[in-house]
A and B are shown apart, each in its own frame.
Chain A
Amino acid sequence: MGIEGVGARVARKEDKRFITGGGRYVDDMVVPGMKHAVFVRSPHAHAQIKKIDVKKAQAMPGVVGVLTGKEIKADGIGNLICGWMIHSKDGTPMKMGAWSPLAVDKVRYVGDAVVIVVADTKGQARDAAEAVEITYKELKAVVDATKAIQAGAPQIHAEADNNLIFDWELGDAKATDAAIKSAAHVTRMKIVNNRLVPNAMEPRAALGHYDKAEDHYTCWTTSQNPHVARLVMSAFYNVAPENKLRVIAPDVGGGFGSKIYIYPEEIVCLWASKKTGVPVKWVADRTESFLSDAHGRDHVSTVEMAFDKDNRITGLKVDTIANLGAYMSLFSSCVPTYLYATLLSGQYNIPAIHANVRTVYTNTAPVDAYRGAGRPEATYVLERMMETAARELGVSPAELRRRNFITSFPHQTPVIMAYDAGDYNASLDAAMKAADYAGFTRRRADAAKQGKLRGIGMSCYIEACGLAPSSAVGSLGAGVGLWESAEVRVNAVGTIEVLTGSHSHGQGHETTFAQLVTQRFGVPIDSVSIVHGDTDKVQMGMGTYGSRSGAVGMSAIVKALDKVEAKAKKIAAHLLEADEGDIVIENGEVKVAGTDKSLPWFQVALASYTAHNLPAGMEPGLKETAFYDPSNFTFPAGCYICEVEIDPETGTTEIVQFVAADDFGNIINPMIVEGQVHGGIAQGVGQALLEGTHYDASGQLLTASYMDYTMPRAGDLPSFKVSTSNTPCPGNPLGVKGCGEAGAIGSPPAVINAITDALGVVDIAMPASPATVWATIRAKK
């Protein structure tokens, strides 16, 4: 490992612009003639649109255009779609209701976009938006998924009877029922996974620019996957053919899943730009983000876990109702199915598993992938069950887990996944040691003397990352392949550009990816640039989500580097009159092994472009492209331990220590990996302690600002103790597994296990706010 190569804690190349105010986010973009858009959104959760009168608004100062759903329909812009087909267990396809970019006849949640107003300034657009007159006929709304599927509930989409989108199952129902019937012990719980709002700090934004002379569109957008955005907007929404649409995702201020999807706003801004003849920029307010960004989680599950007399798990039965909100967002259907039920084996040997999942429309914001996406929900189910079972069986939580750990690999679970590598005992041991688990009893007694309640909880998670083998996801209903592309361009002076289909919105790709190049050729890291986020620069890519940019994105770069290296060696062998097999590239030099013959790296690059003296038949240039399609998912895993101290008088929970021991496979930049874990834990702790998304019965979002929705702040969190004990992933050339989501997956059950341990109760609802904890203590007395 060099100081800038693989495994080094290289400070980030991209930081300079961010710490000096030089970042370029969508809201920072200015195009000559640009105007500003404001969306008029539904104030009702469920209503018919009787009449839209835009005359007054059109006459307001500075107004350029006021446009409605009827007009966008008339221009042939298509409805939004969900790109992953799921079939119910009776064989029928999921019931996808129409989602018009601007509502036409009906609104289905508070925040549904109805009209776009374009004006010289945002203030003028806002004033005019208030002058748009919409007559609604209010309908009864339903926000709770368990109520929405009951008979007589308000019907949200004509396509989905009783709001049921699909009723899907995975696993062996018969075998699981038999296991439960013959069990020595069965643990039963109802488990609720609370709805969350992703809250990337940069609100969503879009700038649409139609160039009339070229009949060409450019869209600057806050996207985690600009190529997917272009593909979907072209193929399904009929915005423009791909060659007439450029999508740019410049610096993007966090995503966490919420910026994967193609939302109505970017489609409407592009269309409105053509319609009005001016570039149109829209930037969400924070409250608008709360209302209209895709939310996460919102599962209610009934779970049974069966054990034999030796405390080995014999079966797991899960019945889940997942709230998908008012419309099916782009990947909403795969989150509670193939990203959830397939992980229900966790780190354990479970011979029989059956999951039944019903997804449901409600009059709430659409729900889709949020950091972890399905895997946090699966982990929460399993790790809450393990904790409760351990207490019921009278064994230690660690012992119950150890007894059931999978210890030999590969391991085929009953729910599709084939785990390739792991060492679950190693991460459990590491976490227990770092947490001084043995000393907890003493610490609990000390706390009791101070009138405080101490609790400790653990969580052993597994996730499936590196999404995903294209043929596998295709067979499961995905509308796209999930490979990644890379292009490595060696310039004539030896500097290198890597074009990647991955997108960095905080993950530090500009550094990590460059470390691969530095490792390979020994060139200084400053001579390597990573190019991403622009469909005009990068040929095609699938973007960044599901912790895939390491395992899939970097593997594509490795493949392209292999090709460049092979060609460079051929050129060098020719120039140095040596055998190709004797050429080595290191420290910026191309050498003949065992001799003093060498060429500087740049001379090989230069020779490839001057093409004065290349091997016979070789094409000039030193630029290679590769597409990498993974052979399997990767399986990061780990153990998290949380220790809390609760003040019974106020219900306040303090996290006194949080330990994470992860297995991410090989690591390229430990500093960046640790940062990912820190951030993930904060989001998981936020879910467990602070973040509650509350709709009232009429469908109004009560928590639609930072005054009402409790974001984790510095004072809510401790410094974290993180470490890794790694088993390389055998499935990709770098042996990496992915680290982006682990923190958010592993932490919520650790926190809740600790709190219930402290309080001596079976369960407590997330978020376990001071009020909830206080009420739980009082209810117990």
Chain B
Amino acid sequence: MSDVSLTVNGRRVSGNAEDRTLLVHFLREHLGLTGTHVGCDTSQCGACVVHVDGRAVKSCSMLAVQASGSTIVTIEGLADGAELHPVQAAFKEHHGLQCGFCTPGMIMTATDMIARHPQGLDEATVRAELDGNICRCTGYHNIVKAILAASETMAKGAKGRAKQAA
């Protein structure tokens, strides 16, 4: 058994878990954060993507104890209170989800993708970047649309904030 201390969605948490416990199971079973999903056992589907110290990580590919000391954001911590994150809002507006199971991982991947492409995204880049996330419902059409739209919204927002600061 190992002690695990993390900052999750802005809250310091700690627990004691079997050494073999994966981060995804620690989040789901110890912390009750069931928004992060398990869709496969080979780190292929991406339903479990969370942010670990600012980077998108498949939480099934990391032991909880390895993550100890990290700052983690899960789908539950993405919105700013009642206000949805622009990626969440775009998934809703553009019908980027159906059954909702892959959605948390998609949104966490998309958020990271947009952050890594401040110059903006095009369709080919979005499709290539989504290689680690599988969706069986949407055919990706509206997911791609939602990510492109969110990318634009966030770029506008960033420009707006830069203007205000100036």
* Contact, CB under 8 Å: A254 / B136: yes
A679 B126 Cβ-Cβ under 8 A: no
Q: Are B98 and A19 in contact (CB under 8 A)?
A: no
Identify which of B61-69, B73-81, B114-122 touches chain A: B73-81
Partner of A202, one of B39, B93, B107, B142: B39
The interface bits of chain A over 13-42 (1 if a CB of B lies within 8 angstroms of the residue's CB, else 0) are 011111111111101100000000000000
C-alpha spacing A410/B105, complex, angstroms: 48
CB of B36 within 8 A of chain A? yes
Verify A681–B139 contact, CB threshold 8 A: yes
Checking A23, A28, A706, A712 against B40 with a beta-carbon cut-off of 8 angstroms, the contacting residue is: A706
Chain B hits for A25, CB < 8 A: 34, 37, 101
A494 at the interface (CB under 8 A from B): no
Evaluate contact between A506 and B98: CB separation under 8 angstroms.
Answer: yes
Q: How far does the Cβ of A15 sit from chain B's closest Cβ, in whole Å?
A: 4
Residues A679 and B76 in contact in the complex (CB < 8 Å), given A706-B44, A713-B130, A715-B131: no
Chain B residues near A12: list those with CB within 8 A.
Answer: 92, 95
Verify if A392 is at the interface (C-beta below 8 Å from B): no
Contact B101 A202 (CB under 8 A): yes
- List CB contacts (< 8 Å) of A674-733 with chain B: 674-675, 678-683, 705-707, 711-715, 717, 719-720
Complex: A287 Cα to B102 Cα, angstroms: 18
Residue of B nearest to A680 (CB): B139
Point out the residues of chain B lying under 8 angstroms from A121, CB to CB: 18
Report chain A residues within 8 Å CB of B49.
none
Number of A interface residues in the complex (CB < 8 A): 58
Interface assignment of A505: CB less than 8 Å from any CB of chain B: yes
* Closest Cβ neighbor of B129 among chain A residues: A714
Chain B residues, CB < 8 A from A17: 100
**A714-B39 in contact (CB<8A):** no
Residues of B within 8 A of A706 (CB): 40, 42, 44-45, 134
B95 touches A286 (CB 8 A): no
Give chain B residues whose Cβ lies under 8 Å from the Cβ of A24: 34
Contact B34 A21 (CB under 8 A): yes
User: Considering the chains assembled together, what is the distance between the CA atoms of A679 and B140 in angstroms?
Assistant: 8
B111 to chain A, nearest CB (A): 12
Closest to B103 in A: A18
A201 part of interface (Cβ distance < 8 Å): yes
A717 to chain B, nearest CB (A): 6
Inter-chain contacts of B149 with A (CB < 8 A): none
Task: Tell me, in angstroms, the Cα distance from A223 to B42 when the chains sit together.
Answer: 25
- Residues of chain A within 8 A (CB-CB) of B92 are 11-12, 15-16, 19
Is B4 in contact with chain A by the CB < 8 A criterion? no
Q: Are A506 and B99 in contact (CB under 8 A)?
A: yes
Known: A253-B99, A256-B136, A714-B131. A21 touches B126 (CB 8 A): no
Whether the Cβ atoms of B138 and A678 lie closer than 8 Å is yes
- Taken together as a complex, chains A and B put the C-alpha atoms of A24 and B127 apart, in Å, by 28
Measured CB to CB, the closest approach of chain B to A25, in angstroms, equals 7
Complex Cα–Cα for A286 and B100 (A): 18
**Mask: chain B, 52-64; 1 = CB below 8 Å from A; 0 = not:** 0000000000000
**Interface residues of A, Cβ cutoff 8 Å to B:** 11-12, 14-25, 27-28, 121, 123, 199-203, 251-254, 256, 283, 285-287, 505-508, 671-672, 674-675, 678-683, 705-707, 711-715, 717, 719-720, 743
Selected A-B contacts with CB under 8 Å, 24 pairs: A18-B103, A20-B88, A21-B34, A21-B74, A21-B104, A23-B35, A123-B20, A199-B136, A200-B101, A201-B99, A201-B136, A203-B38, A253-B39, A254-B137, A508-B98, A675-B142, A705-B40, A705-B44, A713-B130, A713-B134, A714-B140, A717-B140, A717-B141, A720-B139
The 7 closest A-B pairs by CB, nearest first: A21-B35, A253-B101, A18-B100, A682-B139, A506-B99, A706-B44, A506-B98
Q: Assuming A25-B101, A671-B95, A679-B136, what are 17 further A-B pairs, CB within 8 angstroms?
A: A19-B104, A21-B75, A22-B35, A22-B76, A23-B35, A23-B100, A27-B34, A200-B101, A200-B136, A201-B137, A253-B101, A678-B142, A706-B45, A714-B127, A715-B130, A717-B127, A719-B123
